[in-house]
Structure 1
Amino acid sequence: MSASQIIFYIIAVFILFTALLAVTTRKIFRSAIWLLFALVGIAGLFFWMDVEFIAAVQIVVYVGGIVVLIIFSIFLTQQSGNEMMKPKLSRTIFSVSAAVFGFALFYTLIGKYNFQTASGKVLNVDVREIGTQLLSTTEHGFILPFEVVSILLLAAMIGCIVIAMKSKTATNE
């Protein structure tokens, strides 16, 4: 086994361990922190694969944006110290069976297909080209979806604040 494979397995075990803790812990704030660690592990995997732009986007968007938004939502709703309810046995059985089915499906698909590019070369895209495509208004540009997603995230954040303010005023009366 090479050093590269050992590093991959260490990162993969870290991601799986922290993701499992994010799903199984009963404290909601700890669950958000374990999710943060899992997403940082995924960014580490991208860095290990020499895809620095995707790793940076992973850190900025998911770790820096989504997880911070989740943590702020937890604090706004005054639920940071509460334990989540224990799930029913039927839901646990369904969740485990869905996870096993998904793992078997992915394992079958990965074993069936080779997943290599037609030329056998590694895809190497310049960051400048990615930025030009993201902010372009031409036929192959992505400025409209980029703006729609930003408006959607703003609406979600405003909705979180409105819900938190309503529940806070309702408990004060």
Structure 2
Amino acid sequence: MANIIMFCILAVVILGSAVMCVMTKRIMRAATFLLFVLFGIAGIYFLLDYTFLGAAQISVYAGGITMLYIFAIQLVSKRTLQGLVERLKGSRVVGGVLATLAGLVTVVVILLKNQFINAAVGMTEGEIPMDRIGQALVGSGKYEYVLPFEFISLFLLACIIGGIMIARKEEQK
């Protein structure tokens, strides 16, 4: 019962922060709400006793990625951000709602067609051991993810170097 209550609290925090992240007009507040979303997801990992994934979520995403976003925001000049006041037009809102509904219908059709929901409900295997999850994350074989992690780290390094170069060019002018 306590797990259900904690899950409901974390779900409300995650959903509320995600909505506020998208709806706020201030970019630093959006980054802060994103941080709350990532901490909430880490809380769900801890609730499921996946402490490794929870710790990785906090260190990599809540710590690293959010700080990368904040540094990128700080590198962009204030003159660039001041002109970015966007007005919501009715046609854009309607288009966004239609695109969202089309995406939702697509996901539901795929879930029903491939019987993912029935497989998830009828899963009798039980919990997946943490050593299998860890091996899948850092293994180098088929269906293992160490190579994508390395590509992402190189991509983020290139983004950081590019941001530094952009910031340096503005100082020289």
TM-score range, shorter chain: 0.7 to 0.9
**Contact 2:50/2:130 (<8 A) preserved:** no
Structure 1 segment 1-150 matched on structure 2, within 5 A: 2-79=1-78, 82=82, 84-89=84-89, 90-106=91-107, 113-114=117-118, 115-116=120-121, 118-126=123-131, 130=134, 134=138, 142-150=145-153
Structure ranking higher in helix proportion: 2
Cα distance, 1:61 vs structure 2: 1.2
Deviation at 1:143, TM superposition (A): 4.4
Matches of 2:101 and 2:143, distance apart in 1: 39
What is the TM-score with the length of structure 1 in the denominator? Answer: 0.77
Counterpart among 153, 157, 161 of residue 160 in structure 2: 157
Unaligned 5+ runs, structure 2 = none
Kindly indicate whether the alpha-carbon contact (under 8 Å) linking 1:27 and 1:83 is maintained by their aligned counterparts in 2.
no
Stretches of structure 1 lacking an aligned partner (at least 5 in a row): none
Give aligned-pair identity as a percent. Answer: 36
Higher relative contact order (CA 8 A, sep 6+): 1
SS state at 2:128 partner: coil
Paired residues in the alignment total 167
Query: How far did 1:46 drift?
Result: 1.3
Once residues 5 and 150 of structure 1 are traced to their aligned partners in structure 2, the CA distance between those partners, rounded to angstroms, is: 36
Residues 142 and 3 (structure 1), Cα distance of their counterparts in 2 relative to 1, 3 Å cut: closer
Q: 1:27 to 1:84 in 2, by over 3 A?
A: farther
Counterpart CA distance in 1 for 2:137 and 2:45 is 21
Deviation at 1:17, TM superposition (A): 0.5
